[in-house]
Structure 1
Amino acid sequence: MKQLLASFLVVFLLALPGAAQAGSVTLKGSDTMVILGQRWAEEFMKKNADTKLQVTGGGSGTGISALINGTTDICMSSRPMKEAEREKLRSRSKTPGTEIAVAKDGVTFYLHEKNPLSSLTLEQLKGIYLGDLTNWKEVGGPDAPIIVYSRENSSGTYVFVKDNLLGGEDYSSRAQTLPGTAAVVNAISKEKNGIGYGGAAYAKGIKELKIKAGSEEIAPSTDNIKSGKYPLSRDLYFYLRTPPTGEAKAFIDFVLSPDGQQIVTKVGYFPVK
Structure 2
Amino acid sequence: MLARLIFILMLLVALPVHANEKMKFGGTGSGLELVRQLGNLYAKQHKNLNVQIVPSLGSTGGIKALQAGALDLAITARPVKPEEKGVESIQLCRTPLVFAVNPATSISNINAGDLVQLYGNVSQTWPDGGRVRVVLRPEAETTTKMLRGISPAIDQALTLAKARPGMIMAVTDQDNLKVIQKTPGAFGLTSLAMVTAEQAKVQLVSFNGVEPTLQALVQGRYPLVRDYYLVARTPVSATAQNFINFARSAKGASLFKALHCLSVEQR
Query: Same fold by TM (over 0.5)?
Result: yes
| Deviation of the 1:195 alpha carbon | 0.7
Change (3 A) 1:36 1:252: same
Native 8 Å contact 2:181 2:202 kept in 1 = yes
Q: Which amino acid aligns with 1:43?
A: L
Evaluate the alpha carbon distance shift between residue 62 and residue 45 of structure 1 in structure 2; reply closer, same or farther with a 3 A threshold.
same
Match of 2:108 in 1: 118
Cα deviations by residue, 1:43-100 (Å, 9 ceiling, x for unpaired): 111211344433223222221222343432322111334x4xx31x23xx3xxx3221
d(CA) in 2 for partners of 1:231, 1:122: 12
CA 1:23–1:192 in structure 2 vs 1: closer, same or farther (change >3 Å)? Answer: closer
Q: Identity over the aligned pairs, expressed in percent?
A: 19
Equivalent residues of 1:106, 1:199 under 8 A apart: yes
Tell me the CA shift for residue 103 of structure 1: 1.3
Candidates 222, 226, 240, aligned match of 2:214: 222
**Aligned-pair distance for 1:36?**
0.7
Report the secondary structure of 1:261's partner residue: helix
Distance 1:226 1:27 in 2: 29
Aligned equivalent of 1:149: 135
Aligned to 1:270: 262
Structure with higher Rg: it is: 2
Structure 2 residue aligned with 1:11: none
Q: Cα–Cα, structure 1 residues 143 and 24, in superposed 2: closer, same or farther, change >3 Å?
A: closer
Deviation at 1:149, TM superposition (A): 1.1
- Scaled by the length of structure 1, the TM-score of the pair is 0.74
| Aligned positions of 1:1-273 closer than 5 A | 23-56=21-54, 57-81=56-80, 83=81, 86-87=82-83, 89-90=84-85, 93=86, 97-129=87-119, 131-136=120-125, 141-153=127-139, 155-164=141-150, 166-167=154-155, 170=159, 172=162, 173=164, 174-201=166-193, 202=195, 204-212=200-208, 217-242=209-234, 244-272=236-264, 273=266
Question: Per-residue CA shift, 1:106-165, capped at 9, x if unaligned?
Answer: 111112334232111124224423x3434136xxx2445321113345644344434556
Q: How far did residue 245 of structure 1 move?
A: 3.2
User: Structure 1 stretch 189-198 or stretch 164-173: which is displaced more?
Assistant: 164-173
Q: In 2, distance between residues paired with 1:34 and 1:210?
A: 25
Contact 1:62 1:154 in 2 (8 A): no
Conserved? CA contact 2:110–2:205, under 8 Å: yes
**Cα pair distance change 1:114/1:189, threshold 3 Å:** same
CA distance in 2, matches of 1:149, 1:34: 21
* RMSD (Å) for aligned C-alpha atoms: 2.9
In structure 2, relative to structure 1, the CA distance for the partners of 1:67 and 1:167 (3 Å cut) is: farther
Q: How many residue pairs align between the two structures?
A: 236
Shift of 1:229: 2.4
Q: Following the alignment from structure 2 to structure 1, what is the Cα–Cα distance between the partners of residues 167 and 222?
A: 24
TM-score (norm 2): 0.75
Show structure 1 runs of 5+ residues with no match: 1-20
Shift of 1:249: 0.6
Tell me the secondary structure at the aligned position of residue 236 of structure 1.
Answer: strand
- Is the Cα contact below 8 Å between 1:79 and 1:159 reproduced in 2? no
- The 1-side partners of 2:140 and 2:21 are apart by 29
Code of the residue aligned with 2:103 in structure 1: it is E
Q: Summarize the Cα distance change of 1:256–1:175 in structure 2 as closer, same or farther, 3 Å threshold.
A: farther
| 1:108 partner amino acid | V
Using the TM superposition, give the Cα deviation of residue 228 of structure 1 relative to its aligned residue in structure 2, in angstroms.
3.6
* Whole-angstrom distance in 1 between the partners of 2:136 and 2:93: 23
